[in-house]
Amino acid sequence: MNFNIQDIVRPNIQRLKPYSCARDEFKGRPARVFLDANESPYNQPYNRYPDPLQEELKKLLSEVKCVPADQIFLGNGSDEAIDLVYRVFCQPGIDNVVAIEPTYGMYGVCADINDVAYRTVPLEPGYRLNAEKVLAATDAQTKVIWLCTPNNPTGNALNRTEIEKILDNFRGIVVVDEAYSDFSAERPFRVDLERWPHLIVLNTFSKAWGCAAIRLGMAFASKDIIALFNKVKYPYNVNELTQQKAIAMLHDLTKVNLWLAAIRTERPKLMAAFAELSLCEEVYPSEANFFLARVTDADVIYNYLIECGIVVRNRTRVALCGNCLRITVGSPNENTELLAALRKFRVNGGKA
């Protein structure tokens, strides 16, 4: 595809001379005495600014994710990468983006914050992606198409052929959010970056890696796109504690793989048991660590579970998700508790 990234970057970002921080200017030879950044000499190791480009962490990640280090961006959660897509590519008040519906809410919130029109295309029955309908919603001012697979809150993986149709026919940025790809058997798009210079793939430490608290998100893309993100991001956007914890995680992947296996084992068991409940109308297929279920009355059942001390996500007011609850796969004990509470619930009111 002949595609020039400069054609779709905001002019002010193209012209931007980034802030040059102390640790950027000093590079190369080993030093012993650091008097360049107005840091305190006391309270080690917290006194020093962290590596602005997280090089040690990216080197380890590069091996695990099979993506070259210079094609990785790290941010304060995926949320930072989502916001950067708008700030780098979308002119406020002029450009627009297209997203599927229903999907992850942050794409729309960041569009509103950045004053970028957010166009939605409803998924087909079975929450299937229709590439032609998504492409038909684009125009000359469309800079980004947002896709999420496996999709949140529906749980299903989008059809790869349809995603490829969008990648092959759209001349703006295509974001494929693979926050849940570890739970899926599908081939991840991040290993196919060289096929599409306008593809950005998102991953996160918040789900399969069990690290939502440290706020670490990843974006994989062409070197040119990563360079633009690095130019616009806050200089020290990933703090030292987060970098250290992530490095420690990457040195011990056996743990993460055991967690993944546990959730993959629990998911079909929980979904099958849920489908047997009298309050359940339908359980939708899932390739994620959660599933969507249509129930007799989502509001009533949601509130009943709250009374039991159990929180699920009520999605009944989301487009195409009437009377749907989104349920995360927990530990075996948590899942057993959820099912026990729901078995005591009487569909037509009244106590058990």
Ligand X SMILES: *Cc1c(COP(=O)(O)O)cnc(C)c1O
Residues that bind ligand X (CB under 6 A): 77-79, 104, 148, 152, 177, 179, 204, 206-207, 212, 217
- Tokens representing 327 are 């349920």
Show the DSSP H helices in the chain as ranges.
11-15, 22-25, 55-65, 78-89, 106-113, 131-136, 160-169, 223-232, 240-251, 253-275, 298-307, 332-344
Nearer to ligand X by C-beta: 212 or 272? 212
Nearer to ligand X by C-beta: 198 or 326? 326
Question: Residue of minimal CB distance from ligand X?
Answer: 77
Nearer to ligand X by C-beta: 23 or 181? 181
Nearer to ligand X by C-beta: 114 or 279? 114
Nearer to ligand X by C-beta: 48 or 313? 313
* Minimum gap (Å) between residue 76 Cβ and ligand X: 8
Nearer to ligand X by C-beta: 128 or 346? 128
* Minimum gap (Å) between residue 207 Cβ and ligand X: 6
Asked if residues 347 and 278 have their Cβ atoms less than 8 Å apart, the reply is: yes
Backbone angles phi, psi at 21, to 5 degrees: -85, 165
* Minimum gap (Å) between residue 121 Cβ and ligand X: 17
* Minimum gap (Å) between residue 160 Cβ and ligand X: 18
Nearer to ligand X by C-beta: 50 or 77? 77
- Tokens representing 141 are 């001012």
* Minimum gap (Å) between residue 204 Cβ and ligand X: 3
* Minimum gap (Å) between residue 139 Cβ and ligand X: 25
Nearer to ligand X by C-beta: 52 or 217? 217
Sign, CA dihedral 244-248-250-255, equals negative
Query: Residue type for 349, please?
Result: G
Asked if residues 202 and 110 have their Cβ atoms less than 8 Å apart, the reply is: no
Respond yes or no on whether the N-terminal peptide bond of residue 45 is cis (omega within 30° of 0). Answer: yes
* Minimum gap (Å) between residue 316 Cβ and ligand X: 18
* Minimum gap (Å) between residue 150 Cβ and ligand X: 9
Among candidates 228, 220, 217, which has minimal Cα distance to 195?
220
R_g (Cα) of the chain, nearest Å = 22
Nearer to ligand X by C-beta: 50 or 150? 150
Asked if residues 282 and 294 have their Cβ atoms less than 8 Å apart, the reply is: yes
Looking up tokens 């492409």 gives 135
Cα 268 to Cα 289: distance, rounded to the nearest angstrom = 10
Q: How far apart are the first and last CA of the chain?
A: 62
Relative to beta strand 142-148, strand 96-101 is parallel
Inter-axis angle of helices 223-232 and 78-89, nearest 10: 100
* Minimum gap (Å) between residue 57 Cβ and ligand X: 15
- Provide the β-strand partners of residue 117: 96
